Amino acid sequence: MNKKVLKQTAVILLFLFALISFKLIINKISTSEEAEVEEIAEEPEIFFHGLSLSEYDTATLIIRSGDILPKALTRANIDEATAQRVSMLAMKYLRPAEIIPGQAIRVFVSRADSLPTYAVYEVNPAKKVVMRLTDSLYAYQELKQVETSQRTIGAIIQSSLYQDLVDQGVPATVVVRLADLYSWSIDFFKIQPNDSIKLIYEQRMVDDSIPMGTGRILAAVLYHKNKPHYGFYYRSADGAIDGYYNEQAEALRSFFLKAPLNFFRITSRYNLRRFHPVLKTTRPHLGTDYAAPHGTPIMTTADGTIEAMGYTAGNGNYVKVKHNQTYSTQYLHMSRFQPGLRVGSRVKQGDVIGYVGSTGLATGPHVCYRFWKNGKQVDPLSIDLPVAKPMDDKYKAEYLKTITRPRKQLDSYNIAPTAAQNESKPLASNQ
């Protein structure tokens, strides 16, 4: 009986051992399969514009100066006929002005047959044009939404309005527009260290992180000698008012610009007894010299008609503009004229009429700006000039209501000093 019990016990033990071993094997297989699945999951297939990179090799073309689209595509071993045909399809979504040196075209080459199959033209962060290069050719565009937000920034002026704002990260295009905004009311030559500027402008972004340019300046305040000079953009509902005004609803735009250049240095003022640096004699200087780099655009300071232009030994290349029966202005020593201008051409305030040079009797690049009132040359910096037409009373209440919020935003904004300003002697606040 004992032997029989022992035998049965042994059989049961063997059965249990086999069962346990079987379970261990199954678990091991399952674990192995899970590990394999996890390993595959760590290397997902990568797609670019819907194309699996596992199927293609890629190359990048850079648009060169003078390129047209077919010419650029042939550099990727795309035959001329295909490049021409697909370019015609792509130009449905492209303007010639959008083809700019430095842009990239990503070309996808099939690993199966080594043929260029797709090209993706990255026009800008918000726009790409995809081209199929084999079989049935086609092209389409991919667009991303461009979001516009407002950015408030400011700077304490130490070196120049331009440089100090650029050091704070303000795009150069915004600074130039800011100079335009104040060009009727502020003489930038008179801005001093410790003056300051604050502004609100539109910033365009893609994917919340990629800059896509800037829009208009919405509001600004320039503190000069402790006095604030506000400017607010306003467009009335009927479109009759569209421009910049101060906190009293007075137009920033005057009949004349303060100067014919955006950024300059006055080297010689109107002076009836100036020593001429070239002729080495004392003679009247009936203009104001604005020094600027060679090629700087020169603007007419008011609307008018070109009544004379040409070259003389003393004036060099010059343009004279008649504004009305009372006022005329003249611009001397240009390197060249703005193409398309001639005597009789109508020009508007701020139009470029030429470029800074040193032609005629000039020792360096500058523009000599001359000003006539009732046929007599006068100093424009010492006379009262006519102002622009004021805002109609029916728009004032709405305008003053509109600027309340941006004015508070400017007034409450604290300017962060740059690294260079932190290292220098602290400046007293002018606000």
Structure tokens at 65: 């100066």
Rounded Cα gap, residues 269 and 413, in angstroms = 38
Structure tokens of 369? 């700006």
pLDDT at 428 (0 to 100): 37
The two tokens of residue 365 are 């690049």
Structure confidence at residue 379 (pLDDT): 84
Q: Is 117 helix (H, G, I), strand (E, B) or coil?
A: strand
Judged against a pLDDT cut of 50, whether residue 301 lies above it is answered with yes
Average pLDDT over residues 383-392: 74
pLDDT at residue 355, as a whole number:
95
Helix, strand and coil content of the chain, in percent to the nearest 5, comes to 25, 35, 40
**DSSP string of 206-253, one letter each residue:** ETTTEEEEEEEEEEEEEEETTEEEEEEEEE-TTSS-EEEE-TTS-BS-
Residue position matching structure tokens 């904004």: 413
Comparison of pLDDT for 426 and 355, the residue scoring more: 355
Instruction: Give the span between the Cα atoms of 382 and 17, in whole angstroms.
Output: 111
**372 contact partners, CB below 8 Å, separation of at least 6:** 327, 328, 329, 330, 378
> Is the model more confident about 16 or about 43?
16
Q: How far apart are CA 183 and CA 238, in angstroms?
A: 27
pLDDT tens digit string along 127-147? Answer: 999 999 988 899 999 999 999
Measured from the Cβ of residue 153, the count of other Cβ atoms closer than 10 Å reads 18
Decide which of 342 and 428 is more confident. 342
pTM given for the model: 0.60
- pLDDT at residue 2 is higher than 60: no
> Would you say residue 48 has pLDDT above 90?
no
The predicted pLDDT at position 300 comes to 94
Give the model confidence (pLDDT) of 82-134 as tens digits.
999 999 999 999 998 899 999 999 999 998 888 899 999 999 989 999 999 98
Tell which wins on pLDDT, 185 or 376. Answer: 376
Q: Which residue has the higher pLDDT, 325 or 2?
A: 325
**CA dihedral angle for residue 236, residue 237, residue 242, residue 247, rounded to 10 degrees:** 20
Share of the chain above pLDDT 70, in %: 77
Tokens matching residue 159: 């070196």
Q: Which two tokens stand for residue 308?
A: 């004379």
Contact partners, residue 189, CB within 8 Å, separation at least 6: 259, 264, 265, 266
CB distance 85 to 135 below 8 Å = no
Angle formed by the axes of helices 404-412 and 393-402, to 10°?
Answer: 40
Alpha carbon dihedral 415, 420, 424, 429, in 10-degree steps, equals -10
pLDDT at 249 over 70: yes
pLDDT digit string (tens) for 185-239?
776 667 788 889 999 999 999 988 888 889 999 999 999 888 999 999 999 999 8
Query: Mean pLDDT over residues 248-271, rounded?
Result: 71
- Band the pLDDT of 44: cuts 50, 70, 90: low
HSE-up (13 A, CA, CB side) for residue 302: 23
> What pLDDT score was predicted for residue 319?
97
* SS3 state at 254: strand
**Which residues, 6 or more positions from 198, have their beta carbon under 8 angstroms from its beta carbon?**
152, 153, 154, 220, 221, 410, 413, 415
At residue 253, the pLDDT reads 78
What is the mean predicted confidence (pLDDT) over 262-290? 53
Read off the pLDDT of residues 154-164 as tens digits, 9 standing for 90 and up.
999 888 888 88
Q: Which has more pLDDT, 174 or 24?
A: 174
What is the model's pLDDT at position 13?
60
Rounded to the nearest integer, the mean pLDDT of the chain is 82
In the predicted model, is pLDDT for residue 53 greater than 90? Answer: no
Distance CA 31, CA 1 (A): 45
pLDDT in tens, 302-341: 899 999 999 999 899 999 999 988 899 999 999 999 999 9
Grouping H, G, I as helix, E, B as strand and the rest as coil, residue 327 is strand
Residue 402 predicted with pLDDT over 60 = yes
Residue 291 predicted with pLDDT over 60: yes
